Amino acid sequence: MEENKSNKTTPRDVFLHLLSIVTLYFSVGSFIALIFQYLNVWLPQFPEASHYNSGAYGIMRFAIASLIIIFPAYLWTIWFLGKDYASHPGKLKLAIRRWLIYFTLFITALVIIGDLVALVNRLLEGEYTLRFLLKVLTVLFATGSVFTYYFWNLKKNKIE
């Protein structure tokens, strides 16, 4: 009876899994935006573009504020879900969890592919800069980390 109960998706499960994935996406987006703006300020494209920095600083403040609030919410959510999985291992195979993990793998794979296409395109054009290369590495690092973590999680828990 307990095994059957733990395999049933409840509204609480949907809430926690959606909250986890949405806070993850927002955290990754905020991290990338923050690094991009730091690169824009540190390595300006046009030396006379100091007025551009005021917009960059606004984006940086918003990204930092978002990370201060949203990333801990993500960490709390995955910690809470981890406790739930430990007490109800059948929940590791919930459909909502599997769908969101595979959707996340799909999105991150597309972003990585698009990032690499942009890199190769710029290299073939001969118009690449240090700032551009660092932005490509930022996207690869952020999305690659998410992809690796969730792919590893699927393999560790033997989820199909």
Helix (H, G, I), strand (E, B) or coil at 46: coil
Ranges of residues in the chain whose predicted pLDDT is under 50: 1-3
Cα 110 from Cα 46, distance rounded (Å): 31
Q: Which two tokens stand for residue 126?
A: 């001969």
Q: What is the predicted pLDDT for the residue at 70?
A: 98
Q: What is the predicted pLDDT for the residue at 47?
A: 64
Q: What is the predicted pLDDT for the residue at 49?
A: 57
Q: What is the predicted pLDDT for the residue at 158?
A: 79
Measured CA to CA in angstroms, residue 87 lies from 1, 43, 49, 152 at distances of 15, 50, 56, 21
Mean pLDDT value across the chain = 91
CA 156, 28, 19, 95 torsion-angle sign: negative
Q: What is the predicted pLDDT for the residue at 115?
A: 96
Q: What is the predicted pLDDT for the residue at 2?
A: 47
